[in-house]
Amino acid sequence: MEKKHEATTNQRVVHRARNSWSGFLFGVGLVAFIDEAVFHQLLHWHHFYDKSTTSAGLVSDGLFHAFSWFATIASLFMVADLRRRGGWWVKRWIGGVLLGAGAFQLYDGTVQHKLMGLHQIRYGVKIAPYDITWNVLACLMLLIGIILTWFTRKQGAHHD
The answer to whether 121 touches 130, Cβ cutoff 8 Å, is yes
Domain ranges of the chain: 2-151
Q: Name the pTM for this structure.
A: 0.86
Contact 32, 71 (CB under 8 A): yes
- Spatial CA neighbour of 147 closest among 104, 91, 103: 91
Distance in angstroms between the alpha carbons of the first and the last residue of the chain: 17
Along the 160 residues of the chain, how does pLDDT read in single tens digits? 545 544 467 777 788 899 999 999 999 999 999 988 898 888 888 888 878 888 888 888 889 899 999 999 999 999 999 999 999 999 999 999 999 999 999 999 999 889 988 888 889 999 999 999 999 999 999 999 999 999 998 765 454 5
- Burial of 67 (C-beta count, 10 Å sphere; 0-12/13-18/19+): middle
Measured between alpha carbons, how far is 35 from 65 in angstroms, rounded to an integer? 9
